[in-house]
Structure 1
Amino acid sequence: MTAPSRTNGPAADWKHRELYDRVLDTLHALPARFRTALRIAGISATDLFTLNTPLGAAIESSVVENLNDLRELWDPDGKYEIYSFVRQAQVFPDVRLQTSAPNVAEEERIIMGIELKGWFILSKEGEPSFRYKASPNVCAPQDLLVVFPWGLDEVISGAPRLMRPFVEEARFAAEHRNHYWKVLRGKQGDDAKVISAAVKEPYPTKNQKFNDEAKKDKGNNFGRVARGALMTDFINGLLEQHISGIPAVYWQRFLKIFSEGASADSVEKKLKSVRSDAEKAGLSADRSEVFDSILEGLRELVAK
């Protein structure tokens, strides 16, 4: 089976192609201009993982609000003033650039869509755990899968801040997911079969069955895009970014150690291992001092 390939979005002569390109630029500009009233305080460091789902949903809603606030970037000439990004539950894509204005042709009511996901960068698994099951057949060429990693500006408290997004063609992501399940996993028979959704048109309603499904999936892993290696390079690069002077991957390992409920002696050994790995990776002398102070603070947490 031939591996899928990207199409670079809609055709160059598509009448909304310029809008599409500007939306792409806006998505990448959004982290620097992201605003939210959310602020987290008084949460134990070991309970941070529990925030991923409820806070993630709130952040995704804030992303949509911010996209509309950045209209000057994607619609500088006011050509699309009757359109706005709207978030909807149980549909694909869950964010659509659409209008409800009268006298607009049916085929022009929705211009493009974004399947939007959030990812708490310090989550235990070290990769996004969302499931993306939409059939390639319901993805328009201009639709996108967008994942916004996020963290807190004070690491374990403060206001959410976005990091650079993962942006992919929605159709390619769906095709890649199916190819991974059928071919790259190395499974045979029913273990490698995908049942295609009956719906074949973009922008289905919530009452239509628009998701592909694995014929056999005891572990409920079908649709976990990160496991199919589509995001591997992006994730690895992101975890190397520094948060308060220390690469995110080590913060992630810190928090995972404490969340596992290990004994104080076991935690101490694991912390020393993390620090050793960080030094081998080239942690600078000044950052080493920061690292030590964090270790000391985490030790105090264990002692309580």
Structure 2
Amino acid sequence: MSEPTSDPALAEALSEAVSNAPAAPKAPQLDPNDPLTSLRQRVIETLQAMPSYFKFDTTIEGVDATDLQNANTLLGASIEVQVVATLNRLRELWDPKQEWQGYRFERQSQTFPDVRLIQRIGANTDIALGIELKGWYLFSKEGVPTFRFSSTPHSCADHDLLCVVPWHFSNVTSGTPVARDPWVVPAKWAAEYRNYWWMYIRRAKNGMVGITSPPNARPYPTKDQQISDVPDSDGGKNFGRLARVKGLMDTFIAEARSQDALGIPIRDWVTFFARHSDSSDADAVHAAIAEELSVHRARVSREKAERVASLIQEICDLLDSEE
């Protein structure tokens, strides 16, 4: 599998900046001879290929552009259901030798992880691995994933995954939902890194950085079991918001926002929709965009002037060397 996409250099630099901070957590070391390890790798590869096979038959039309900010609230659960359906359709990718006959992915929204590869025999069930699945509507006003992941590391099995699937409408404001390249990392590692950031890197103003873990937490809990870590102090209610954990999702978020939709970078669509949602004054929106454009043009002009000057200097140097 691909390694978790945190920035090791950033994590190390941050760790050095905090006295007595332990080393940043690493992904679980898995037994290469365990059949679950090879299954997990194929599931990861299937998730990475999933956008090419993703299907959502319902076409969305007639939604005002300024109301699109709520798309994830309206369709987030349906997107996750379709991701699970796609995984089951792609069985030949994650089970090419039919070694896991009888197992299928099932979504259970009230339990953790909310997707499980499960086999049912009568009243008995066997869980192979789990996926905590999150959808991210790329044109949301926030511009980053807003989900919270507060599960304690002890509730994550070593083979469990955390998967974030970015999506948007095929025609930006209408059409069918389209999935983009997902972010797939070990769930236990993500939980450990979140806690590491909270306790050792994040500078809490009140100095309260402790985290209380639920007792007896274990993988594949029942609905009534407590599995969430709770910080001693969280006035901003930001614990578990992985998009705010520096060095964790930064690269993934930047790459997802740099992709095009109808030939325009997604980050520019987000800025445009956010401005119109924040203000009902069309003239004010137009003036703000015009001002940003003029600043951009001035910056580009300076860059071009500097480049031209550099080229002229190179030519002069070449001429001098020939004399």
Please classify the TM superposition score into its range, dividing by the shorter chain length. Answer: 0.7 to 0.9
Distance 2:94 2:242 in 1: 28
Matched residue, 1:299: none
User: Which 10-residue stretch deviates more, 129-138 or 3-12?
Assistant: 3-12
2:70–2:140 contact (8 Å) kept in structure 1: no
Within-5 A mapping of 1:281-292: none
Q: Could you state the TM-score of these two structures normalised by the residue count of structure 1?
A: 0.86
Distance 2:115 2:89 in 1: 15
Shift of 1:275: 4.0
Q: Alpha-carbon deviations, 1:69-116, whole Å to 9, x = none?
A: 111110112211200011102211110001112597x7xx11110000
Distance 2:25 2:289 in 1: 43
2:276–2:282 contact (8 Å) kept in structure 1: no
Shift of 1:18: 1.6
Match of 2:56 among 36, 59, 66: 36
Matched, 1:166 2:183: yes
SS in 1 for 2:208: helix
Matched, 1:252 2:270: yes
Change over 3 Å in CA distance of 1:195–1:281 after alignment to 2: farther
Tell me which structure has the larger Cα radius of gyration.
Answer: 2
Matched AA of 1:12: P
Matched residue, 2:138: 121
2:217–2:226 contact (8 Å) kept in structure 1: no
Matched, 1:112 2:132: no
Matched residue, 1:270: 288
1:3–1:179 contact (8 Å) kept in structure 2: no
Matched residue, 1:134: 151
Matched residue, 1:195: 212
Q: Alpha-carbon deviations, 1:215-254, whole Å to 9, x = none?
A: 2212211100110121111101111111111111000000
Shift of 1:125: 0.9
Within-5 A mapping of 1:141-152: 141-152=158-169
Matched AA of 2:234: D
Distance 2:289 2:271 in 1: 9
Matched residue, 2:98: 78
SS in 2 for 1:268: helix
Matched residue, 1:181: 198
SS in 2 for 1:171: helix
Matched residue, 1:294: none
2:28–2:189 contact (8 Å) kept in structure 1: no
SS in 2 for 1:90: coil
State the aligned residue count.
Answer: 279
RMSD: 2.0
Matched AA of 2:236: G
User: Which 10-residue stretch deviates more, 181-190 or 35-44?
Assistant: 181-190
Shift of 1:200: 3.0
SS in 1 for 2:279: coil
Matched, 1:234 2:252: yes
User: Which 10-residue stretch deviates more, 4-13 or 238-247?
Assistant: 4-13
SS in 1 for 2:173: coil
Any gaps of 5 or more consecutive residues in structure 1? 283-304
Matched AA of 2:251: D
Return structure 1 stretches of 4+ with deviation > 6 angstroms: none
Matched residue, 2:72: 52
Percent of residue pairs identical: 41
Matched residue, 1:289: none
Q: Alpha-carbon deviations, 1:34-53, whole Å to 9, x = none?
A: 01112210000000011211
Distance 1:47 1:224 in 2: 24
